[in-house]
Chain A
Amino acid sequence: MSKQQGKGDLGLVALTKSFATFTAVHPLDLVVPQGSFFALLGPSGCGKTTTLRMIAGLEEPTSGRIRIGDSDITDTKAYQRNVNTVFQSYALFPHMSVLDNVMFGLRRRGDKDAKAKAKEVLELVQLEQVASKKPTQLSGGMQQRVALARALVNRPDVLLLDEPLGALDLKLRRQMQIELKRIQQEVGLTFIHVTHDQEEAMTMADSIAVMNAGRLEQLGDPATLYEQPRSTFVANFLGQSNLLRATVNPGGTDHVVTVRAHDTDLEVSREHLPEGVRDVWLGVRPEKLRLGEGGGPNQLRGIVRDVSFSGVATQYSVQMPWGQELIVVQQNDGTARAVLGETVTVSWAAQHGFALDASQDAEAGAELVDDHG
Chain B
Amino acid sequence: MAWIKRHLISFAAIAVLVYMLVPNVVVAAFSFNDPKGKYNYNFNEFSAAAWTNPCGAQGICESLGLSLQIGVIASLTATVLGTMIAFALGRYRFRGRSATNLLIFMPMATPEVVMGSSLLTLFLMLGVPSGRTAILIAHIMFCVSFVVVAVKARVATLDPKLEEAAADLGANPTQTFLRVTLPLAAPGIAAGALLAFSLSFDDYIITNFNASPSSITFPMYVWGASARGVPVQVYVIGTVMFVLTLVVVMTGQLISSRRNRQVA
Contact = CB atoms under 8 A, between A and B. Distances in A.
A touches B (Cβ under 8 A): yes
Given A91-B162, A91-B164, A108-B175, A137 B262 contact: yes
A255 B183 CA distance: 68
A122 to B, nearest CB: 16
B169 A136 contact: no
Contacts of A309: none
Interface stretch (A81-89, A231-239, A287-295): A81-89
Report whether over half of chain B's contact residues are helix, strand or loop; otherwise say mixed: helix
Contacts of B176: 79
B174 to A, nearest CB: 10
Contacts of B179: 104
Nearest to B168: A85
Contact of B166 (A83, A104, A151): A104
B165 A91 contact: yes
A93 B162 contact: yes
Interface in A50-104: 56-58, 77-80, 83-85, 87, 89, 91-95, 104
Contacts of B159: 89, 91
B228 interface: no
Interface residues of A, number: 27
Contacts of A154: 169-170
Among the interface residues B162, B176, B262, which one has the most CB atoms of the partner chain A within 10 A?
B162
A95 B162 CA distance: 11
B172 interface: yes
Nearest to A82: B170
B180 interface: yes
Contact of B180 (A83, A87, A93, A109): A93
A100 B32 CA distance: 53
A78 B262 contact: no
A119 to B, nearest CB: 17
Among the interface residues B173, B180, B264, which one has the most CB atoms of the partner chain A within 10 A?
B180
21 contacts: A56-B168, A58-B167, A78-B167, A79-B168, A79-B172, A80-B170, A85-B164, A87-B161, A87-B165, A89-B161, A91-B164, A91-B165, A92-B165, A93-B165, A94-B162, A94-B184, A136-B263, A137-B262, A137-B264, A150-B169, A151-B168
Given A87-B164, A150-B169, 4 more contacts: A78-B167, A80-B170, A93-B165, A154-B170
Interface of A: 56-58, 77-80, 83-85, 87, 89, 91-95, 104-105, 108-109, 134, 136-137, 150-151, 154
Interface of B: 159, 161-162, 164-173, 175-176, 179-180, 183-184, 262-264
